[in-house]
């Protein structure tokens, strides 16, 4: 009996040790940063391409109000409702007490590339750093300088309301081992400069994959179903397949896609809405060359059938039309049905 207990204890200790070792946060050292004089104009451009204000700008009314106050007042306060609980988007204005005014550039780079806060704790991937990690060091240094130039706002945001075990940040270490490596985007030497630029914008700052892809039970994106559409985690319909298949963008030309990003109009005279609307507003502010590059990359994606079966898509639409309460889906992540934000949460 005692032997069995001891064995159990040893197993528990070994398990805890393995958990500890597997979940040690990896960070980027300051020496990894290139010498680069910050370019504020580029920082602002990257900020727009990355849609930071969509989540971090203070909402006008309640925490789930989709309208934001000024895009450069990053007081936080929006709430992202997920099946795991509620995330309260933090204040990232340069206020020293309630914002990130004390963060160094390398602190910021670690949040963006490693999903690790200055105190070494993991950040939740509701903050889409699984995409932002692909951004270049230069763009991140510029972005940090731009954030530093914005108004400091004193505003305390309530803590997240997450149930066990999601409230334990350390547990994210395992998720990080699967989905976070901090590697910057690597251009494909065989692809054109336009395609590489498009791939960078889509994969990095644009974080398009976060909303347009289905996720596995861990809240990770299913590689073979990237961009093939996803169920909205809150049950309100689906996010469309944007691969060039019959289920997806099919016959859309590169110009059609670029035009949608610029104007919000689809080739069949529809107007883009839902969570894509604020994304499109940001895309409209990019250069025509960048919109064309994004379109070129989207056109080059492997054509895939819808990841969400048609029957389920229909069911969701009907539910919406009936005004019935949307079913809670098991999908742990995706884009917010309640807001203009995606919240990808590990399960
Ligand atoms: C989809 C919504 C969303 C978007 C878009 C987003 N964030 Fe966040 N961000 C969050 C959430 C939620 C957290 C809180 C994560 C946590 O507590 O672990 C967060 C945390 C952060 C933090 C850590 C703050 C702290 O006090 O620990 C920084 C820095 C940050 N975001 C910067 C940015 C920047 C810069 C951008 C644009 C490039 C951006 N975020 C885009 C949702 C978002
Ligand atoms: C916050 C979640 C979110 C992000 C991020 C996002 N999308 Fe979307 N996207 C949507 C939703 C939702 C729709 C459907 C909107 C509608 O039906 O009105 C959509 C629609 C589209 C469409 C039109 C598809 C069709 O069949 O009509 C295209 C093209 C598109 N997105 C491209 C992109 C690109 C490129 C990016 C990255 C720059 C991106 N999206 C990022 C949520 C998102």
Q: What is the pLDDT along the chain (347 residues), one digit of tens a residue?
A: 678 888 888 888 888 878 777 778 889 999 999 999 999 999 999 999 999 999 999 988 888 877 788 899 999 999 988 777 899 999 999 999 999 999 999 999 999 999 999 999 999 999 999 999 999 999 999 999 999 999 999 999 999 999 888 898 988 988 899 999 999 999 999 999 999 999 999 999 999 999 999 988 888 899 999 999 998 765 577 899 999 999 999 999 999 999 999 999 999 989 998 889 999 999 999 999 999 999 999 999 999 999 998 888 865 444 444 333 333 333 333 333 333 344 444 43
- Whether residues 175 and 222 share a domain: the answer is no
In a domain, 12, yes or no: no
Mutate to test the pocket of ligand 2, among 262, 279, 294, 297 (most ligand atoms within 8 A of CB): 279
State pTM to two decimals. 0.90
- Whether residues 315 and 207 share a domain: the answer is yes
**Does any ligand 2 atom lie closer than 6 A to the CB of residue 107?**
no
Closest to 116 (Cα-Cα) out of 36, 247, 26 = 26
In a domain, 17, yes or no: no
What total of structural domains would you count in the chain? 2
172/127 Cα distance (integer angstroms) = 13
- Whether residues 170 and 47 share a domain: the answer is yes
Domain range spanning residue 158?
Answer: 29-179
Instruction: Pull the structure tokens for residue 199.
Output: 């791939």
Mutate to test the pocket of ligand 1, among 80, 90, 109, 175 (most ligand atoms within 8 A of CB): 90
- Whether residues 224 and 332 share a domain: the answer is yes
Closest to 56 (Cα-Cα) out of 339, 283, 284 = 339
In a domain, 7, yes or no: no
Q: Specify whether the CB–CB gap between 345 and 241 falls below 8 A.
A: no
- Whether residues 203 and 330 share a domain: the answer is yes
- Whether residues 155 and 278 share a domain: the answer is no
Mutate to test the pocket of ligand 1, among 53, 54, 56, 72 (most ligand atoms within 8 A of CB): 56
| Residue labelled with tokens 């995409």 | 131
Of the three residues 157, 179, 201, the one that is the final residue of a domain is 179
In a domain, 339, yes or no: yes
Instruction: Pull the structure tokens for residue 218.
Output: 């861990």
In a domain, 20, yes or no: no
- Whether residues 276 and 336 share a domain: the answer is yes
In a domain, 293, yes or no: yes
Of the three residues 145, 179, 213, the one that is the final residue of a domain is 179
Q: Kindly give the distance from the C-alpha atom of residue 29 to the centroid of ligand 2, in angstroms, as a whole number.
A: 35
- Whether residues 206 and 135 share a domain: the answer is no
- Whether residues 43 and 170 share a domain: the answer is yes
For residue 205, which ligand has an atom nearest its CA? 1
Residue 212: C-alpha distances to residues 23, 40, 228, 308 (Å): 29, 30, 7, 11
- Whether residues 273 and 315 share a domain: the answer is yes
- Whether residues 35 and 169 share a domain: the answer is yes
Q: Within 13 Å, how many C-alpha atoms sit on residue 16's CB side? A: 6
A 10 A CB-CB count for 43 gives: 21
- Whether residues 164 and 200 share a domain: the answer is no
What is the maximal distance between C-alpha atoms in the chain? 75
Of the three residues 179, 203, 236, the one that is the final residue of a domain is 179
Closest-lying ligand 1 atom to the alpha carbon of residue 121: 18
- The alpha carbon dihedral of 277, 282, 285, 291 has a sign of negative
């Amino acid at each position: 009996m005692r032997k069995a207990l001891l064995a159990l204890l040893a197993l528990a200790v070994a398990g805890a040790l393995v958990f500890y070792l597997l979940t040690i946060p990896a960070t980027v050292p300051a020496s990894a940063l290139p010498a680069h004089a910050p370019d504020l104009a580029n920082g602002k451009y990257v900020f727009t391409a990355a849609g930071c204000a969509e989540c971090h700008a203070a909402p006008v009314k309640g925490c789930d109000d989709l309208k934001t106050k000024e895009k450069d007042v990053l007081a936080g306060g929006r709430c992202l409702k997920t099946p795991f609980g509620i995330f309260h988007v933090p204040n990232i204005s340069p206020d020293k007490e309630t914002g990130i005014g004390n963060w160094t550039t390398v602190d910021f780079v670690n949040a963006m590339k490693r999903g690790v806060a200055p105190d070494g704790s993991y950040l939740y991937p509701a903050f889409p750093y699984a995409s932002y990690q692909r951004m270049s060091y230069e763009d991140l240094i510029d972005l940090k300088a731009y954030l530093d130039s914005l108004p400091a706002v004193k505003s305390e945001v309530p803590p997240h309301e997450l149930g066990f075990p999601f409230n334990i940040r350390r547990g994210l270490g395992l998720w990080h081992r699967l989905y976070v490596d901090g590697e910057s985007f690597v251009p494909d030497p065989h692809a054109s400069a336009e395609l590489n630029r498009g791939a960078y914008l889509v994969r990095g700052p644009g974080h398009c994959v976060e909303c347009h892809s289905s996720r596995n039970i861990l809240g990770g994106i299913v590689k073979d179903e990237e961009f093939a559409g996803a169920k909205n985690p809150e049950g309100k319909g689906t996010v469309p397949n944007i691969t060039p298949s019959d289920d997806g963008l099919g016959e859309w030309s590169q110009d059609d896609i670029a035009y949608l990003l610029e104007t919000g109009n689809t080739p069949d005279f529809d107007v883009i809405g839902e969570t894509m609307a604020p994304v499109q507003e940001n895309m409209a502010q990019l250069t025509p060359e960048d919109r064309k590059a994004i379109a070129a990359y989207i056109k080059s994606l492997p054509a895939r059938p819808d990841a969400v079966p048609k029957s389920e898509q229909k069911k969701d639409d009907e539910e919406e039309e009936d005004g019935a309460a949307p079913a809670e889906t098991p999908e742990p992540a995706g884009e917010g049905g309640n807001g203009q934000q995606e919240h990808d949460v590990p399960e």
